[in-house]
Amino acid sequence: MKALLCKQEGTPESLVLEELPEPTPGPGEVRVAVRHVGINFPDCLMIEGKYQVKPPFPFAPGGEFSGVVSAIGEGVTSVAVGDRVAGGSGHGALAEALVVNAAGLRKVADGMPLAVAAAWNTTYGTSYHALKQRGQLKPGETLLVLGAAGGVGLAAVELGKAMGARVLAAASTEAKRQAALEAGADEVIDYSDGDLKEKVKALTDGRGADVIYDPVGGPLFDQCLRSVAWNGRILVVGFVGGDIPKAPINLILLKGCQVVGVFYGAFTGRERAADAENWRELNALWASGAIRPKISAHYPLAEGGKALRALMDREAIGKVVVDL
């Protein structure tokens, strides 16, 4: 089978396509013939050696996939050969086949395209957990989303609308703001000049936003603290924008606000029942047409590095997907 391998810390351009033996599933494991891989920011960090998980070399990046079960190991009863499945693997998915624990697989709902199934696990799982459990977002509240046309950001825009919020979407380019409007945002903000506070205040009669979804961090986090409403919640999701911010915590006191951490990977392990309930609700939202994950670009396996490059160069809108 073909796999796109990272053989040393490097750039997306240093990934190499090689032939590997097809893996065999052990007890409790399943082999999946991969059809699509959704690319996420951690894939980029992992090949650069900047992610908290550092797989031994060589490894195929790609932590989110969909495909068809091609073999099952001893004791597996939850899926059968031929089932359409999706799941998370940490890494290893940019390959024609991978072996994963059966417990980590989800059957793909009838009617859902496999490309969508590969593109929404991380983004919609993270953003729904963030807005529901961590942000306690209520209908009628104002939600501000930073990086609003990125993977998790665009999911937060759609889900915020589905949950009944008024959504302000902040993004750096006209094309990204247009994508946020198409996903349902009520208002868009150009924050490329670094100014957020005055624009949020102008759109909220000076109140600020009740919930702020922040996957960017860096200097913008300070602006979040100054743009949040009384009793507001700032969701700390990621730090693509630079250094991990240091907060002037007197502002947390003055605003009576909360700064709330979001760690979706840990949530799925620690609170399985709540995550399963979230996915029942997400599947229902998808079936009703209330959410439609956006895939803006597809790449073949041999050009998988270009998919990672699109995220690193801040060019991706919604999700980019590698097809096998």
Ligand X SMILES: NC(=O)c1ccc[n+]([C@@H]2O[C@H](COP(=O)([O-])OP(=O)(O)OC[C@H]3O[C@@H](n4cnc5c(N)ncnc54)[C@H](OP(=O)(O)O)[C@@H]3O)[C@@H](O)[C@H]2O)c1
User: Which residues bind to ligand X, rule: CB under 6 A?
Assistant: 40-42, 122, 126, 147, 149-153, 171-172, 176, 215-216, 237-241, 262-265, 311, 314, 316
Residue 29 vs 187, nearer CB to ligand X? 187
158: left (phi over 0), alpha (psi -120 to 50) or beta: alpha
Cβ neighbours, 10 Å, residue 248: 12
Taking CB positions, which residue lies at the least distance from ligand X? 150
Q: How far apart are CA 293 and CA 237, in angstroms?
A: 19
Residue 113 vs 218, nearer CB to ligand X? 218
Structure tokens at 63: 């932590």
Residue 78 vs 296, nearer CB to ligand X? 296
Q: How far is the CB of 149 from ligand X (least distance, A)?
A: 5
Q: How far is the CB of 87 from ligand X (least distance, A)?
A: 15
Residue 66 vs 126, nearer CB to ligand X? 126
Q: How far is the CB of 208 from ligand X (least distance, A)?
A: 20
Residue 45 vs 290, nearer CB to ligand X? 45
Q: How far is the CB of 50 from ligand X (least distance, A)?
A: 10
Q: How far is the CB of 88 from ligand X (least distance, A)?
A: 11
